[in-house]
């Protein structure tokens, strides 16, 4: 029974040490080689077509159907040059990470031969038989299939011998069935809202893009050990496992030297990423043992999201070659750090300005304060929505646990900017300011330092921190599609900037000077959104109390967090910004509830199987061994001595029995609760799974982990935490 574990350890011990390849080329020599990017387009498209494609990408206009044929033919020629034989529309359905269905270029001709073809039709639109993708009832209602449509703003790329064309996935009525469609709409809405605000400061701004730089955390586990852990294999996390005597207490893993095997793996997946134009730049060890992080240079948000999705696939694929499994789950191991995916977010203009970067003149600093304070106001007004956007069964285990931000959304801005906001609040008044006061205020604003000393990574406990020239949303889970939080972030910002523009224009109409009008409105926002600013320790118990006093939400579980998507104000927001309709929001929530419910259902089943087939049999086998030994003792010792000598055996025998009994009772109760929950609709079912099923997983685990401590190591069937975390 324990054979699998020992075989796995045997494989592991005999693994060759990491073979770190010698670099043969500079990264810049092969960066983007497998991407149909600008220079490839120039080479393979007629000049006029190239120009029009660029224009469409820039303006978001649709490419004329006639030109699609030419683009397809250029793309095919480029791909065939690289030995590509197939193409696929690549998309991001609401469950699962990415989807693709490959078709060959090859097409038979009438005379019994064949040619390679890719027409405009195939490039622009496809109808995958996608009836198994979740639609939250959208497709049933409209009795239609979904189709995928080309997103020209994200370049096509090659994986193995397949040309992948990034697409949105929608129902035939146009309703979004994926993550990308609403993101593109949110980004469009943001652009519309931000440009007019930029023009208060610079008439030359015509375009504003949201930028995203994600940081991907992950664990590596040896492939052989992974296979011996059915819970890891089926749920992505360990449902059992007593904590290792040594965990992360010593902080000796963080930023330590990267182990050779992991290093070899990283070099290979980075190379694969670079070929795909994913600008990975940073790698390091994370806090927990066998936990690591990588991060790219930031990019325009839509592209950055695609690159993150792609990276996760690449990481998994390359891991196999190195005898690893990469764990992207938010909390694969209890008691040590989980994995997140910080989303660094900012706004950039086509004039090369980062709108969240303090400048060195009063004017650039008023611009900075405008975008900075509007972000705070947006997050303040829609904190529950932001919380909902990062909700998942996996992330529920992470938020509020070891070194992860709590489920309370607050904003850290650092002491210098806190001072700036306090000053602004004091100095700007609704009364007309005297010329002296105005000059003084401007001088003051001009003094905001360009480099903010306390805004690096100082407060790691905040879920939303200003880090010098960008905000960092740290509550995102490692497995998440960044589209979800980025759609919300950019939609609420778009909304807020439109309100801001209106508020300022109203004051200008009343005769206020532009700068005074802007500062007056900003002051109003500071007062209105102060409550969400928090500089202290977000991990502390005091903060939970303080936040409650301030009226901030602390929504700990996904089924409850999801409500925010359907609140009156959210529906209004999404509809008015043209991002999602009420039906789409309802359909999405339906999918999220179902997804949550199914995840916990699978975990509960796996837990039941594992205790039944692995853990209890191991415990009973050990007990049997003890019973034989007691019987043996009885035959060789006189009664009195036997009593004394048998006592430790008997103690363990009864402990095993008690724990096994408790496990069995809990499993039975858990199955009953599951049966009840399964009869309910998606939302009440997910609530029932959360409230009535999930607690049994903890109870069962508690007892099983205690058994792990007493049962003889040779009999224990599952690789232990110390083996999963400390062998490399």
Contacting positions for ligand ADP (CB under 6 A): 211-213, 215, 295-298, 344-346, 354, 456-457, 467, 469-470
Closest CB to ligand ADP among residues 52, 307: 307
208-222 and 324-327 beta bridge pairing: antiparallel
Integer Cα distance of 547 and 461 in angstroms? 14
Closest CB to ligand ADP among residues 201, 345: 345
Closest CB to ligand ADP among residues 84, 312: 312
Output the smallest distance, CB 372 to ligand ADP, in A. 13
Output the smallest distance, CB 259 to ligand ADP, in A. 21
Contact (CB, 8 A) for 537 and 461: yes
Output the smallest distance, CB 494 to ligand ADP, in A. 17
Count of CA atoms in the C-beta half-sphere (13 A) of 727: 22
573: Cβ contacts below 8 Å, ≥ 6 apart = 382, 385, 491, 492, 495
Closest CB to ligand ADP among residues 211, 244: 211
Closest CB to ligand ADP among residues 458, 691: 458
Output the smallest distance, CB 374 to ligand ADP, in A. 16
Closest CB to ligand ADP among residues 420, 482: 482
411-412 and 464-466 beta bridge pairing: parallel
Integer Cα distance of 689 and 680 in angstroms? 10
Integer Cα distance of 226 and 8 in angstroms? 9
Tokens in use for 54? 């660029």
Integer Cα distance of 395 and 404 in angstroms? 10
Closest CB to ligand ADP among residues 180, 470: 470
Output the smallest distance, CB 282 to ligand ADP, in A. 7
Integer Cα distance of 476 and 392 in angstroms? 10
**Backbone angles phi and psi of 351, in degrees to 5:** -95, 10
To which residue do tokens 């250029």 refer? Answer: 74
Closest CB to ligand ADP among residues 229, 470: 470
Integer Cα distance of 517 and 438 in angstroms? 12
3 state SS of 164: strand
Output the smallest distance, CB 460 to ligand ADP, in A. 10
Output the smallest distance, CB 479 to ligand ADP, in A. 18
Closest CB to ligand ADP among residues 300, 699: 300
162-171 and 86-91 beta bridge pairing: parallel
Nearest to 200 by CA among 439, 511, 490, 501: 501
Residue of closest CB approach to ligand ADP: 213
Output the smallest distance, CB 166 to ligand ADP, in A. 20
Closest CB to ligand ADP among residues 345, 721: 345
215: Cβ contacts below 8 Å, ≥ 6 apart = 282, 293, 294, 295, 340, 341, 342, 344
Output the smallest distance, CB 505 to ligand ADP, in A. 28
The H or E element spanning position 524 is: helix 514-529
Rounded (5°) CA angle 342-346-351: 150
Count of CA atoms in the C-beta half-sphere (13 A) of 360: 2
Closest CB to ligand ADP among residues 211, 273: 211
Count of CA atoms in the C-beta half-sphere (13 A) of 32: 10
Output the smallest distance, CB 212 to ligand ADP, in A. 6
Output the smallest distance, CB 537 to ligand ADP, in A. 19
Rounded (5°) CA angle 534-535-537: 100
Closest CB to ligand ADP among residues 58, 457: 457
Output the smallest distance, CB 176 to ligand ADP, in A. 25
């Amino acid at each position: 029974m324990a054979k699998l574990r020992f075989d796995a350890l045997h494989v592991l011990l005999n693994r060759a040490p990491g073979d770190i390849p010698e670099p043969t080329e500079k990264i810049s020599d092969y960066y983007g080689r497998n991407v149909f990017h600008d220079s490839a387009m120039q080479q393979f498209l007629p000049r006029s077509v190239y120009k029009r494609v660029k224009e469409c990408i820039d303006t978001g206009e649709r490419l004329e159907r006639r030109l699609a044929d030419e683009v397809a033919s250029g793309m095919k020629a480029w791909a065939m040059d690289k030995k590509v034989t197939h193409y696929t529309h690549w998309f991001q359905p609401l469950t699962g990470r990415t989807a693709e269905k490959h078709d060959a270029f090859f097409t038979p001709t009438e005379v019994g031969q064949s040619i390679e073809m890719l027409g405009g039709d195939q490039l622009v639109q496809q109808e995958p038989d996608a009836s198994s993708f979740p639609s939250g009832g959208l497709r049933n209602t409209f009795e239609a299939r979904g189709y995928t449509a080309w997103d020209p703003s994200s370049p096509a790329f090659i994986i193995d011998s397949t040309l992948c064309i990034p697409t949105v996935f929608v129902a035939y009525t146009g309703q979004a069935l994926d993550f990308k469609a609403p993101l593109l709409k949110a980004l469009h809405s943001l652009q519309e809202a931000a440009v007019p605000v930029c023009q208060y400061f610079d008439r030359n701004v015509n375009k504003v893009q949201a930028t995203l730089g994600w940081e991907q955390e992950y664990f590596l586990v040896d492939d052989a050990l992974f296979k011996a852990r059915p819970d890891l294999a089926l749920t992505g996390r360990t449902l059992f496992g007593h904590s290792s005597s040594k965990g992360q207490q010593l902080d000796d893993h963080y930023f330590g030297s990267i182990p050779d095997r992991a290093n070899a793996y990283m070099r290979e997946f980075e190379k694969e990423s670079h070929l795909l134009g994913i600008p990975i730049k940073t790698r390091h060890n994370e806090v927990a043992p066998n936990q690591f992080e990588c991060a790219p240079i930031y990019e325009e948000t839509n592209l950055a999201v695609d690159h993150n999705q792609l990276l996760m696939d690449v990481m998994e694929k390359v891991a196999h070659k190195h005898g690893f499994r990469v764990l992207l789950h938010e909390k694969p191991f209890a008691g040590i750090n989980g994995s997140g995916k910080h989303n660094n977010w900012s706004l950039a203009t086509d004039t090369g300005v980062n709108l969240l970067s303090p400048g060195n003149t009063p004017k650039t600093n008023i611009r900075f304060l405008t975008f900075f304070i509007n972000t705070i106001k947006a997050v303040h007004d829609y904190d529950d929505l932001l919380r909902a956007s990062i909700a998942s069964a996996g992330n529920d285990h992470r938020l509020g646990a070891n070194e992860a931000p709590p489920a309370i959304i607050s904003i850290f801005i650092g002491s210098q900017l806190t001072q700036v906001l306090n000053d602004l609040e004091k100095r700007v008044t609704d009364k007309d300011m005297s010329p002296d006061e105005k000059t003084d205020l401007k001088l003051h604003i001009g003094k905001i330092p360009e480099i903010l000393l306390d805004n690096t990574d100082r407060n790691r406990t905040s879920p939303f921190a200003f880090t010098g020239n960008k905000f960092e949303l740290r509550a995102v889970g490692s497995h998440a599609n960044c589209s979800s939080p980025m759609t919300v972030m950019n939609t609420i910002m778009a909304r807020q900037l439109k309100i801001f523009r209106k508020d300022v224009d109203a004051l200008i109409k009343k005769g206020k000077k532009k700068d005074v009008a802007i500062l007056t409105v900003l002051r109003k926002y500071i007062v209105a959104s102060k409550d969400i600013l928090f500089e202290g320790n977000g991990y502390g118990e005091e903060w939970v109390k303080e936040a409650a006093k301030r009226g901030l939400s602390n929504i700990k579980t996904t089924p409850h967090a999801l409500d925010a998507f359907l609140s009156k104000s959210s529906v209004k927001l999404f509809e008015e910004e043209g991002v999602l309709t009420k039906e789409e929001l309802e359909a999405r929530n339906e999918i999220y509830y179902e997804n949550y419910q199914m995840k916990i259902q699978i975990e509960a089943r796996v837990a039941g199987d594992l205790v039944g087939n692995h853990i209890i049999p191991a415990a009973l086998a050990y007990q049997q061994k003890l019973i034989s030994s007691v019987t043996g003792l009885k035959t060789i010792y006189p009664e009195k001595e036997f009593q004394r000598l048998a006592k430790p055996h008997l103690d363990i025998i009864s402990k095993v029995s008690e724990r096994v009994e408790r496990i069995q009772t809990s499993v039975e109760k858990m199955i009953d609760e599951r049966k009840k929950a399964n009869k309910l609709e998606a939302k009440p079912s997910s609530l029932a799974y959360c409230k009535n099923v999930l607690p049994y997983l903890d109870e069962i685990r508690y007892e099983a982990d205690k058994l792990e401590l007493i049962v003889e190591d040779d009999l224990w069937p599952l690789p232990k935490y110390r083996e999963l975390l400390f062998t490399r």
